[in-house]
A and B are shown apart, each in its own frame.
Chain A
Amino acid sequence: MASVKSSRKLSGWQYSAGRAAPFKADVAIEQEFPIFVNGKQLVIPSITPNLLKEFAMGYLFGQGIINSLEEVASLEILNNTAHVTLKDRRKTLTDAAKTNYRIVSGGGKSIYFPEADLSEIKSDLVISKRTLFSAMNQLFKNALLYSETEGVHATGLFNTRASPVCIVEDIGRHNTLDKIIGYTLLHKIDCSRLFLVSTGRMASEMVTKICRSGIPVVATRTAVTNKGLETAKKCGLTIAGFVRTIGSKAITDASARTPKKNSMKIYCGAERVRSA
């Protein structure tokens, strides 16, 4: 698994009861990462600069700009910029990006993607809730930056033995998912037997991206929205929410709580989760 430095120690001043003292804090790295498609700038996302190729591919796939790796002639990363050439060299998307962008709840901008194009997820995967809890624990164990700064999101892709295929941390929950999906594309991984574990909310665009990738199950530490749920039901995605495990600190803005027992709520597709 890739491990790239994704935080930096920065100095500030700690104020405590009227006194100020120098202070060093771990801060998640945010960097602009422009993506050019067929020579034209498509978008400038803000990301934590690791897994750049994965991000570029996952982003284009998640936005519906490509449907498979086969449509890409070349992908080069130069000076923190992605240069993608599609086999269809005449395809330009800058107009769509400029005038038809959408604001997603994570704050990023995305290009309009018709949800009607989504098809049903084909998978006979069944996993136990114990596997989901175990994967969530591993996500927290591996998500170093999450525990260091609490300023990031983490998402992991796991197999049925709860072994991680790929774990990613980034300042944006959308970015973590784009990187994971990009990873599956670049490594030609069959997603139908794998599942996702995430710290992020399952709002409409997150769910749309997962459904597009064909991953049949997602477990999140937090909530789902009505649009997210609607899309998941339509595509046959299983969503488990509020997956909280003993020992994992549930950090919310209001407080930090330690769950007393393992718990989760299954919002849809419960037939894929075994209770044993």
Chain B
Amino acid sequence: MESKILEQIEYTRVDGGGRKAAERIIKETALSIRIGGKHYTTAMILAVMEREFVLGHLLTQGVIKSAREIRSLTIRNYVAEVALIDTYKKQRVGRKVSSKFKVKQNDIINCVRAVNKSDLFSETEAVHCAGLFINGSEPVCIAEDLGRHNALDKAIGYGLLHNVDFTNTIVTVTGKQPSEMIVKCRNVNIPVIATRSVPTTLAIETAEKAGITLIGLVRGKDMVVFTHPEKIA
């Protein structure tokens, strides 16, 4: 069967005197989301966990606050048709995460490690990973995508489908953290975000205001906590 996520291609090897060689590269798929029959967005994604992606995206963008607001979701030929409930009313998302969650340093290190050993990344170097963990130790979902934003939407969508209480979770992601990643976590009440890489200035400001603990440069036994260290046990 043809793979939905990898495509075999030929390339020219420069060090081998121009010989041809073959490898597998990442497939991009355009997935459109329609809400109530109207086009909402089209995303270039890695075509796995499409359902989780759509639900997660609607949640992180503040379109919905819970799965109960979805009347139906069908995905056919990479078009997701979403119907919201009749009583749907757009609510404003909270500006602050309220959570008493605390996480141990060792757990943070393990959760960051878990998203940094993707086989798909080793083969293609073209995907990002996002992981969602309850209490800093129990993995809920580790998702992969071309984009780290999409990977995060997928992990969160999975959490939504499995009734996870996001206020007791930590999210870890590969790659740098711009503000939009923090905004997504804020919109679903995720209190801790950690990465092996670094955040941007606006990400740090956003996390500070939102009450989110933002951790970067998680390498070996070290890490740098940029905001709200009170959540580190």
Q: Which residues of A contact B (CB under 8 A)?
A: 8, 10, 12-18, 20, 23, 25, 27-32, 46, 99-107, 109, 112, 129, 149-152, 171-172, 201, 203-205, 222-229, 240-242, 252-254, 261-267, 270, 273, 275
Contacts and interface: CB of A to CB of B under 8 A. Distances in A.
B31 to A, nearest CB: 9
Contacts, number: 188
Nearest to A26: B198
Given A10-B204, A15-B222, A150 B38 contact: no
Contact of B125 (A28, A223, A228, A262): A223
Dominant secondary structure of chain B at its interface with chain A = mixed
A32 B229 contact: no
Contact of B150 (A103, A152, A201): A103
B201 A27 contact: yes
Given A103-B147, A201-B126, A14 B222 contact: yes
A223 B126 contact: yes
Interface residues of B, number: 66
Contacts of A23: 224
A151 B198 contact: yes
Interface in B92-136: 105, 116-118, 121-122, 124-126, 128
B170 to A, nearest CB: 15
A225 B222 CA distance: 34
Contacts of B216: 12, 25
27 contacts: A12-B224, A13-B229, A14-B224, A18-B105, A25-B217, A28-B198, A30-B200, A30-B203, A31-B201, A105-B28, A105-B146, A107-B148, A149-B198, A171-B178, A203-B28, A222-B125, A223-B25, A224-B126, A225-B126, A226-B9, A229-B9, A229-B25, A242-B125, A252-B125, A254-B118, A263-B15, A267-B12
